[in-house]
Amino acid sequence: MVAASATTPASHLLFSSSQAISRFTPFHTLSSSCPTAAAISGAAARRRNSAAGGGGVRCMAVAEGAATRKRSGYEIQTLTNWLLKQEQAGTIDAELTIVLSSISMACKQIGSLVQRAGISNLTGVQGAVNIQGEDQKKLDVVSNEVFSNCLRSSGRTGIIASEEEDVPVAVEESYSGNYIVVFDPLDGSSNIDAAVSTGSIFGIYSPNDECLADIEADATLDSVVQRCVVNVCQPGNNLLAAGYCMYSSSIIFVLTIGKGVFSFTLDPMFGEFVLTQENIQIPKAGKIYSFNEGNYQMWDDKLKKYIDSLKDPGPSGKPYSARYIGSLVGDFHRTLLYGGIYGYPKDLNSKNGKLRLLYECAPMSFIVEQAGGKGSDGHARVLDIQPTEVHQRIPLYIGSVDEVEKLEKYLA
């Protein structure tokens, strides 16, 4: 009997039903697998009475086995887990973790609104015009409010600047942290009514007063607004983090904190962003170009020659493929994964281009460079451009290194 007691599995001691551990689903919590106080007391008595001393309760061993089984089949890494690991590694601080978490919450809310836009009567034009002179869609206004509220409530942002707002805003609710967050709350909103891909873009900076000398004092701006304008006047090289969230067949959150590019997909089953791609690398070259060729006649001759060269089959007998969604986030995400080039050039109607440097071009260029690609205005690196105004526009060419450099040679 002593020998038999010494070889009795711990699981038979822990569970009166003598069920094997493997029969329990991975959703049983650790507390349900551990013995009660009475069971521990009884087991202790049996252990004292056992001559061999080989039996007894080993809760830790059971816990380790259960954890191993759970990791093998059910382990997932959420955005929250990932951010905490980056914080533990010293890559980011606790304040930035909270800011990024608040942005992810805003993206979840906006994603839900986009999916229900037709049902909730959020399609169509709001009736207002933003600072760029563009008609605001209803979801533009709502998304801007959602994004702003999430950032304010985090208590870690000092200044927020939105494409939909006239000027940056100092956050009165801040009690810790002073990050500057610039964002386009809903890129590609002209596609909303057709249920085509849209997205949110953001960039995060630390405060910087160095560009004060580059901005002329405006008597119509009070000191708070002036300070806001000064602080957001930073080149993309100063970005601490950047990312975008794409609202499509899946809601995908792409993020860089300056250590590679990571992609998280929203799992609707439990409402968490789950890590799905690590250290994304854009192909060095590609055979896809994404330009709005409806504006071809308004481009300069150098750019026309470049586009014409892409359509020439050449020795391979196969020209480049044209793909254009009309949503920067959607077009960029495809380019990031497949390679190629996305371009929004200047033309006769838009002398400086149409995309905003702070809210769109700099964050996307930071992301693509972290993935091994390149962002250019056709002549200079986007991240080196010093903003001169909050809503400054520039031409943008972004994608695979070889493709962007090929374009720059044509425009030189």
pLDDT digits (tens, 9 = 90+) for 199-218: 999 999 998 766 555 555 55
Residues 185 and 268 in one domain: yes
Helices (H) and strands (E) in the chain, counts: 13, 17
Lowest average pLDDT, out of 168-182, 218-232, 258-272, goes to: 218-232
- Percent of the residues in the chain that have a pLDDT greater than 90, as a whole number: 59
Residues 377 and 397 in one domain: yes
Rounded to the nearest 5 percent, the helix, strand and coil shares of the chain are 40, 20, 40
pTM: 0.79
Residues 66 and 85 in one domain: no
The CATH code of the domain that includes 304 is: 3.40.190.80
Residues 268 and 161 in one domain: yes
Region 179-186: what's the mean pLDDT? 95
pLDDT digits (tens, 9 = 90+) for 341-366: 999 999 999 999 999 999 999 999 99
How high is the pLDDT of residue 190? 82
- pLDDT higher than threshold 70 for residue 384: yes
Q: How many domains does the chain have?
A: 3
| Token pair of 283 as six digits | 């192909």
Residues 132 and 183 in one domain: yes
Q: Is residue 283 part of a domain?
A: no
The CATH code of the domain that includes 92 is: 3.30.540.10
Q: Is residue 215 part of a domain?
A: yes
Residues 189 and 105 in one domain: yes
Distance between CA 16 and CA 35 in Å, rounded? Answer: 10
More confident residue, 339 or 125: 339
Return all residues near 378 (Cβ < 8 A) that are at least 6 apart. 345, 395, 397, 407, 408, 411
- What range does the domain containing 149 cover? 79-277
pLDDT digits (tens, 9 = 90+) for 124-159: 665 555 555 566 678 888 999 999 999 999 999 989
**Domain boundary residue among 39, 74, 109?**
74
Distance between CA 47 and CA 10 in Å, rounded? Answer: 12
Residues 153 and 270 in one domain: yes
**Domain boundary residue among 277, 296, 323?**
277
Q: Is residue 282 part of a domain?
A: no
**Domain boundary residue among 257, 277, 297?**
277
pLDDT digits (tens, 9 = 90+) for 21-59: 333 333 333 333 344 444 434 444 444 444 444 444 444
Residues 260 and 152 in one domain: yes
How high is the pLDDT of residue 178? 87
**What is the maximum span of the chain, computed from C-alpha positions, in angstroms?**
95
Which ranges constitute the DSSP H helices of 116-177?
Answer: 138-154
Q: Is residue 129 part of a domain?
A: yes
Residues 188 and 84 in one domain: yes
Residues 240 and 359 in one domain: no
Residue-averaged pLDDT of the chain: 82
Residues 39 and 118 in one domain: no
